[in-house]
Structure 1
């Protein structure tokens, strides 16, 4: 865990230009013991400004729930800059089904997953928890739309060892390095090494992209969360 106190809640920052959306998510998270909303913003620049002030106080949130379509600096650009400045902060993109290409851009910018804006509240909470643990949360409804446009010409599962295929399947299930280690009864360091080798062999920049490809290739059941 990122906190020295494992009972401490996940600190979440909400970024959405619709106040009613922020209010609804905030109200739901207030009912949970393990998630705490620590800030809000209505556009990407406001997110970066808030983080600059928080960084000065060593008070950064763990996860940002980031709307991809906001006025001024959009969610994709804000995600890219946020990950450049504060790489330890995880970003979960919020999107509609019609914005799959924006999701791709957000993943390439460093987002660790995405959730649909019409998802049930429990799914949004699950996405936040998964990101906090270092995993990848992939909304099932968008996964196929994204993977259909991914080029697989230079990628083959035959390039992976049996163990690497096991690791990739677990990545596709949203497992963090710790979760992979626990499942395979190996050290977390070994799990991290396996994940890095898988990404290098397949030419992916992030574990989320690898997870999408693995789902489409049938190495793991389509995410159901």
Structure 2
């Protein structure tokens, strides 16, 4: 058994235990393995352990990994999520290669992703990134901008609106974590109510340090990286 496999099994067990504690036994919480800066060998180990959804932050690095697995291991049928900020001049690569985008925060970006999605591919699954903490260093839109952007995304044929994503301010205070995640969960419910004709079923929030609060607050997808793959090397990030 590989250490990556052990890590995935441990995290999966933790997720199930937290779900039971929070009485969410019938709900799904998907594990998204954040593989940024990690080599394809590490991703392959995770895939061989049963992990299928992977998150990438850097466009060039991510598209190279997508191409590698499409060429060398198409039988794995991996699901690729882009979770980082997207520069306008790189949006085409995201539109052409990824299945999901968690970081849509502008109308212009949504329009570009729609227009650049290749014919023949299914719609790109989209989450709106919300800045719940108000930090200027964080990407994401304000609460009052969510619904106009959701309206646009819902009208674009090559995008499917699936929900919201956020990266709250880091804190070890559990009540503060619950407050930030609860705010996003409330926004998600309002979004579902306003766009009841859309498949809004995904709430991407929670990482290693705040996973329990995120699950208690209703997340459907937790983004876990270091706890699966170990410490990162950012020296060659692109």
- TM-score range with shorter-chain normalisation? 0.3 to 0.5
> Higher relative contact order by CA 8 Å / sep ≥ 6: 1 or 2?
2
